Amino acid sequence: MAGCPAAVTGLGLYTPAGLGVAECWAGVGAGLPTARRDPALAGLPVDFSCRVRVEPSEVLGGRAARRMDRFVQLAVVAAREAVADAGLNRATWDPARIAVVLGCADGGPGTVEAQHRVLLEETAARVSALLLPMQLANMSAGTVSIDLGITGPSLVAATACASGATAIGLARDLLTLDRCDVVLAGGSEAMITPLVMAGFAQMGALSRRADDPQTASRPFDAARDGFVAAEGAAVLVLERPADARARGARVHALVGGFGASADAHHLTAPDPDGRGCEQAVRSALADAGISPGDVDHINAHGTSTVLNDLVEAQMIDRVFGDRPVVTSTKGVTGHMFGAAGAAEAAFCVLALEHQLVPPTANLTDLDARIGIQVATRPVEGRLQVAVSNSFGFGGQNAVLVVTSA
Amino acid sequence: MYEQLKEMIERKFQVPLADIEPTATLEDLGLDSLDVVELALIIEKETGVRVTDDELVEAADLGSLANLVMSRIAPV
């Protein structure tokens, strides 16, 4: 059974590039990098990151935000924007027919680390009763349901750095199966904490370009040396196209295909032959009923690690050749982990709406082994079909096909 | 003690000071069971007095809660 296309009727973005869709697209479209020194990481092997610029607790107000971990706060802000953008009316909607499916890699490590310190330095009797309700990974979707009073299926998908894309794919499946009429689909992540960053540094996954953080995230560049950690959230409102038309909603674009796969190769390293990610791409294209030659634009996973970018570029070359204009918006945003796939799907939607491929920030010298067409400046053109790649630790891959409305 | 308690509730739970009256119950202030556990922790941390969350829930209002804490600081 093929999935029906899902209409994207609302967008919400809260990323290092800005608060809200307009600010985020302005930064991403212009290719303005956001990495900078991070005081919270002082003294650690890597002390820079891409943070959101406005504190989510300030956006929400202290009282509402107090019992939410940061990844939940980010999700709630993005979900509110997406619902408003979709023009959904809380007075008339049927809350039982609205679902929430969000991606998240790690839940709330900031809360865990703070309370673990209390346990070690004080006593168990001082540990907060809010530890679990704040840090459990499902709490982004749970809290969005509470915040908006919606009662349909509510869950979090975890495929590490592919979580946001997986969530959108699963959300479309829920619509196809008629489990609901509307889904708030996306992802959020706030895992820039000392412990997490120490772990990433030990893996050798992070860029060490400490003398110039702004240029550290440089996907596909010959001098790339790792990713830059980021935080953020993205939420898309999805509906069946007929329902969207019936209520007169504006349709930004369609999610036409989804493909998921597992490398079954290694805990963290991509299969060097790129077979797993190729399988996900081909399955997404088949699901959308399109051929590789129809694809105009690819928002690559493009993390800026040595291995990912090479394996991914070779896979893109094999499947698509050099026709599609490829970009990695992680040059601007850094790597938002479980939010990345959702934000990048939203950037595909915006690229189709604006007929503009955003540039890959900091790409000045394309790796000589890479033969695909990667945008180094904003590229205008006729764009009808976009593909968004997301690959997670564990070898879990999720690919979305986005088409013009 | 009442004033100290009032300040704790305002700071920790962002309850507007104007809403905090001696006759207010914790429920009136919008504190649920999770908040009550937090309140017990902060009272112990800042006054050295241990009150259980059950005692907090059973206290009739903020005034009697303040009296309970006071009585443990300076037993008669």
At residue B76 the predicted structure's pLDDT band, cuts being 50, 70 and 90, is low
A256-404, what's its fold?
Answer: Peroxisomal Thiolase; Chain A, domain 1 (3.40.47)
How far is the C-alpha of A405 from the C-alpha of A353, rounded, in Å? Answer: 9
Reply yes or no on whether A252 is catalytic: no
Nearest CA to A78 out of A392, A400, A339 is that of: A339
Residue pair A381/A296 in contact (Cβ under 8 Å)? The answer is yes
Q: What pLDDT, in 10s, does the model give residues A265-274?
A: 999 888 999 9
Which residue of chain B comes nearest to A62, CA vs CA? B14
What is the reported pLDDT for A151?
98
Yes or no, beta carbons of A129 and B34 under 8 Å apart? yes
Give me the mean pLDDT over the B12-39 stretch: 92
Is the CATH code 3.30.420.40 the one for domain A6-246? Answer: no
Yes or no, beta carbons of B34 and A126 under 8 Å apart? no
Asked if the C-beta of B17 comes within 8 angstroms of chain A's C-beta atoms, the answer is no
To 10 degrees, the CA torsion angle through A26, A31, A34, A35? 170
Q: Which CATH number fits domain B2-73: 3.90.470.20, 1.10.3720.10, 1.10.1200.10, 1.10.443.10?
A: 1.10.1200.10
Asked if the C-beta of B18 comes within 8 angstroms of chain A's C-beta atoms, the answer is no
Yes or no, beta carbons of A66 and B45 under 8 Å apart? no
What is the reported pLDDT for B57?
87
Yes or no, beta carbons of B41 and A128 under 8 Å apart? yes
- pLDDT of residue B75 exceeding 70, the answer is no
What is the reported pLDDT for A64?
81
pTM higher than 0.80? yes
Q: Chain A residues with CB inside 8 Å of B15's CB?
A: 63
Residue pair A162/A396 in contact (Cβ under 8 Å)? The answer is yes
Q: In chain A, where does the domain assigned CATH 3.40.47.10 lie?
A: 6-246, 256-404
Its ipTM equals 0.82
Within 10 angstroms of residue A85's Cβ, the number of other Cβ atoms is 21
Yes or no, beta carbons of A66 and B38 under 8 Å apart? no
Reply yes or no on whether A265 is catalytic: no
Rg, chain B, Cα only: 11
Stretches in chain A below the pLDDT threshold 50: none
Which residue of chain A comes nearest to B9, CA vs CA? A63
Given A24, A277, A301, A348, which residue is catalytic? Answer: A301
Residue pair A362/A63 in contact (Cβ under 8 Å)? The answer is no
A251-290 b/e (C-beta count within 10 Å ≥ 16 → b) = bbbbbbbbbbbebeeeeeebbeebebbbbbbebbbebbeb
Give me the mean pLDDT over the B41-63 stretch: 91
